[in-house]
Structure 1
Amino acid sequence: MPTSPPHPGSDRARLATKLREIRAATGLSGNQFAKTLGWPQSRVSKIETATQFPTGDDITSWLAAAGAADEEGLVAELLKRARVESVSFRQEFGKPGGATAKQRSVREQEQQAARVATYQPALLPGLVQTPDFMRKLLALPSGPAHTGGASHVDIEQMVAVRIERQTLLHDPRKTLPLVIGEAALWTRIGDLETQLGQLDRLQTLAGLRTVDLRVVPFATATPIAPLHGFKIFDAELVVVETYAGEQLIRDPEEIALYEHMFSLLRAEAVSGAEAARLIQNVSRQLAADS
């Protein structure tokens, strides 16, 4: 899966630089090296610029084509470290385009993936948020203004891109399994009107063919500890968001672990009419308690 360019000092950038150096030491151009590998030249270019993450097989082929078996230990260590990458929002927002560019990179990841699986234990994810909910959420102390230095203009542009991202919900080529904890229905963002509008929006989305919306009720014994939310892109990338940034996980074994956890959650969650009734009940109780 193509990725956004990494921070220059990141392990992913170091891995790409090392592979470029190994290729350059052969005296072959990128195009010539690609022919040796039997790859498109663009694939070599993307790996060397860190816009495509290499697989273990890619690394093996690369070193064999370069006759660089002596570099295997160093490259293997770089690959291991690059498979779990920390991304700082403050650094990301400091790049050209700022917070808006970051949202666009998320949109591109979602567009490129055939399947985006999302789990959130206590917050409704961006793909289903109303614009009013987005603005209230992004204005919180945990939002980009405080954690990444985003301006008011940045936040409005982020909202615009988030709305654009939601065209994904109507793309018949996509599979978008979404599991949320019941706590996400109750977590108040903004005033009651904002919350009720958001729950109403959630009910309408539950009927879309592309969206498999499921809710883990409070009454269900949770199959995993709800420590944090995550997104899985095509079983190739897991993104875990924190207050300060993101963890990008590309290690196949760790991705398999997250896939297993997602399948456990999905199996215990309610869907269809049962999920709709649960959302409606929360809406009624919120309105009655106001």
Structure 2
Amino acid sequence: MIMLRATAPPASTLRKKLMPTSSPHPGSDRARLATKLREIRATTGLSGNQFAKTLGWPQSRVSKIETAAQFPTGEDVTRWLAAADAVTEEDVVTELLKRARVESVSFRQEFRKSGGATARQRSVRELERQASRVATFQPALLPGLVQTPGFMRELLALPSGPASTGGASDADVEHMVAVRIERQSQLYEPGRAMPIVIGEAALWIRIGDLETQLGQLDRLRSLVGLRTVDLRIMPFSTAMPIAPLHGFRIHDSDLVIVEMFASEHLIMDPGEIAVYEHMFSQLQAEAVAGDEAAQLIQSVTRRLSDES
């Protein structure tokens, strides 16, 4: 299968771009890191603008780091401490940086912010748009990027959905569906790579009625062979190469997102991201693709239809 690959920007640029846009919780490690860096800059007696000139950065970059709107890289922190002559703070700041690289985001807290659940979906869409590659693994659920509107509504209406876990209203859910549909336009944009690996269980697990499930399988089959999507399925007959503990998404090898019932974990630690990249490559190597994947989907469709 031919995959289009965009020329990737430098890794440091991607880390800045891929930082989640939502404001952190005041007590989070990400917020503590920003506060600590702001305090260190303040001890120099320099304004944010003056400090930025010392670093050779735009003033907006210093401001964003100090307000946690932009996540600093290890190199950023090293230069910050050197410019402030604060190398004695290195151990403290390094520990904060390490802890801030894994952040937990509560859906209930996010949905209470301006724009609620809809704004949350839009932030997911923007995060995806900033990446040239988004790799997804789901052992037993079809990812949002391939779901039909009917499947989305049934899924979001379950007790595990945003109404129960995040307090979203019916209107919020409809808006979430609309934004999810908008997100799917990325599947057809040249220069993107959207590799997806799902377990065969995702084909069988019923979300909604049979008509919804069959429509979803038809949609999935239509994506096989799409130039920007490398859709692969792990058959029941194939031994799993890893323990399928949970699904995850990898954004340009700079951010991993693990979604839970009531929250999601944002992993920005390079060492942990490398582990997820390795796991994904193992899954891709063992899963079926192309005609084999299409035949597997068709086989499940026939058996479900015959049993109805």
* TM-score, normalised relative to structure 1: 0.97
Match of 1:70 in 2: 88
Describe how 1:1-290 pairs up with structure 2 within 5 A: 1-4=18-21, 5-290=23-308
Q: Deviations over 1:112-150 (max 9, x none)?
A: 111100000000000000000000000000000000111
Rounded Cα–Cα distance in structure 2 between residues aligned with 1:180 and 1:107 = 21
RMSD: 1.1
Aligned-partner SS, 1:167: helix
Task: State the distance in 2 between where 1:29 and 1:206 align.
Answer: 55
For residues 42 and 203 of structure 1, the distance between their equivalents in structure 2, rounded to whole angstroms, comes to 46
Q: Which moved more, 1:237-246 or 1:5-14?
A: 5-14
Amino acid in the other structure paired with 2:149: P
| Residue-pair matches, total | 290
SS of aligned partner of 1:156: helix
Amino acid at match of 1:125: P
Task: Please state how far the C-alpha of 1:181 moved relative to its aligned partner.
Answer: 0.6
Give the deviation of 1:41 after TM superposition. Answer: 2.8
Displacement, 1:265? 0.2
| Partner AA of 1:101 in structure 2 | A
1: CA distance between counterparts of 2:224 and 2:85? 54
Distance 1:288 1:226 in 2: 30
Unaligned runs of 5+ in 1: none
Higher mean C-alpha displacement, 33-42 vs 220-229:
33-42
Task: Read off the aligned partner of 1:265 and give its amino acid letter.
Answer: L
One-letter amino acid matched to 1:182: E
C-alpha displacement at 1:37, in angstroms?
A: 1.7
Specify the SS of the correspondent of 1:75: helix
TM-score by length of 2: 0.92
Q: Which whole-Å CA distance do the structure 2 matches of 1:158 and 1:280 have between them?
A: 29
Unaligned runs of 5+ in 2: 1-17
Which stretches of structure 1, 4 residues or longer, exceed 4 Å deviation after superposition? none
Residues in 2 aligned to 1:253 and 1:218: alpha-carbon distance in whole angstroms: 31
**Deviation per residue, 1:91-132 (Å, 9 max, x gap):** 111111111111111001001111100000000000000000
Deviation at 1:73, TM superposition (A): 1.7
